[in-house]
Amino acid sequence: MSEKMYRKNLGKKGEEVSVDFLKQEGYRILKRNYRFGHKEIDIVAQDKNTIVFVEVKTGRSKKFGEPFERVDSTKQRKLIEVAKDFIQKNEIQDCDFRFDVISVDLKGDKKIEHIKNAFTVE
């Protein structure tokens, strides 16, 4: 299997684990892999009256930093653009929103770290 296919499969598995985790936490999954142009948000979910845009980071070494640190300002801008498109196209009003990052380590017992409000829109 090529490195690209391996990473794609790893990412999909991490997203599956993250969706299951969010459901167990009481979130309602609204959309997976929502695209706007070439940009994408892994998971759009609802937590009470809050729309949550979730970026999933799967099975990577922490030698490049913590998961939320890998969602740099460029990635944040892209996620914000996609989120604005989702909100507009779905005519969402009177709802809070936030950006979360979920880190999934698939080794062993599938460690999940959920970082709420990983970054804010300025």
97: CATH: 3.40.1350.10
- Measured from the Cβ of residue 77, the count of other Cβ atoms closer than 10 Å reads 12
The count of structural domains within the chain is: 1
User: And the tokens for 97?
Assistant: 């929103």
Whole domain around residue 60: which residue ranges?
A: 3-119
Q: What is the pLDDT along the chain (122 residues), one digit of tens a residue?
A: 677 777 778 788 889 999 999 999 999 999 999 999 999 999 999 999 999 999 999 875 566 666 667 788 899 999 999 999 999 999 998 889 999 999 988 776 778 999 999 988 87
The confidence score (pLDDT) of residue 61 equals 59
Residue 110 has phi, psi (to 5 degrees) of 55, 70
CB of 64 closer than 8 Å to CB of 43: no
